[in-house]
Chain A
């Protein structure tokens, strides 16, 4: 069984809190960030997505092309996707906590990443 932890995302600030999800002490956000550090386009898109997270944290509206609800029908834990040209970020919402960013990935791996994200989310919810 995995051990989960939440860590505030320092770059995001607003009325709503944003956390990254650590699984067994491993931060997907950090891993992803390290993996793209030599690609200026991806780094730029990562900053753009963090900017979008800030607007969501401030409860501002974003176009559906940047941020959308991907919650499956009948699921009461809301799921969201942040989008840039090449990157996708998956988060879910925990009442009285805020948005939990569970997975960063690429557009071309979207389907697989969503499956992975939902599996992480399910395991996390079971621990609550």
Chain B
């Protein structure tokens, strides 16, 4: 069976995530602007089938099309390439979805507590993340991030 870590390291997870985000944004745009697929296709100068593909969560075209589409719905396609092990680590403490929204500092110390500090505008409640480190986090950290005796920061 597929583990969480394997899933996060798979292309299928990230492709589906991107396709789903795009689907959600386009759906919201159509509702907000009271547009149907045909009208939106006309606005973009593409076929209705192309819009259907997006709304079916099957978008798998060129990056240029993705950018064009994002801009057409008033969104900037901010992409960020992150270290996959860092993503797995953040996921283990429930912060994966925040990775693209803000920059997060995580420090691990001898008291085995995780402290997350916001350094840019974000909706993270700092205090709610002062919690015990799950053992898998420590294992992963010690193995893959080479934590030192003092404090290691990931940012």
Q: Tell me the nearest residue of chain A to B92, going by C-beta.
A: A13
Q: Are A62 and B20 in contact (CB under 8 A)?
A: yes
Residues of chain B in range 8-41 having any CB-CB distance to chain A below 8 Å: 10, 12-13, 15-17, 20, 23-24, 27
Q: Tell me the nearest residue of chain A to B94, going by C-beta.
A: A13
Kindly provide the distance from the CB of B96 to the nearest chain A CB, expressed in whole angstroms: 9
Q: Are B7 and A47 in contact (CB under 8 A)?
A: yes
Q: Which 6 A-B pairs have the closest CB atoms?
A: A51-B16, A47-B12, A63-B57, A48-B12, A51-B13, A65-B56
Please give the residue numbers on chain A whose beta carbons come within 8 Å of chain B beta carbons, in ascending order: 10-13, 29-30, 33, 44-48, 50-52, 54-55, 58, 60-63, 65-66
Q: List 25 A-B contacts (CB under 8 A).
A: A10-B1, A10-B3, A11-B2, A11-B4, A13-B4, A13-B91, A29-B1, A30-B1, A47-B2, A48-B12, A50-B7, A51-B7, A51-B13, A52-B20, A54-B7, A54-B13, A55-B16, A55-B20, A60-B20, A61-B20, A61-B23, A62-B57, A63-B56, A65-B58, A66-B56
